[in-house]
Amino acid sequence: MEKLTVTAHVVSASDLTEEQISALQTVLEKKTGKGVRLSVKIDPSLICGLYINVDGYAIDSTVKKQLRDMKSTLKKGGAI
């Protein structure tokens, strides 16, 4: 029986090495239980980190998101 394959859309702040791409693919395949094909794009505005959208799930570990979250918290008068 053939394993279902999904596409993981990955946005990185900088170029990923082949080793990083391979490791990311392996982790995503273990997490999803499916074959994963990576579509990688570069967006320097993320500052650092990765944004991953795979199989209906989004993982945003970018500095840009963290800064946006801090700004929102501060506007609400909350503590970080």
User: Which CATH number is correct for 5-75, 3.90.180, 3.30.310, 2.20.25, 3.40.30?
Assistant: 3.40.30
Residue 63: pLDDT above 90? Answer: yes
35, two tokens: 């074959």
Please give the pLDDT value at position 1.
62
Query: What's the average model confidence in pLDDT over 22-34?
Result: 96
Helix (H) or strand (E) holding 40, with range, is: strand 35-42
Our measurement of the distance from residue 3's CA atom to the centroid of its chain's CA atoms, rounded to an integer in Å, reads: 23
- pTM of the prediction? 0.84
pLDDT band at 79 (very low <50, low <70, confident <90, very high): low
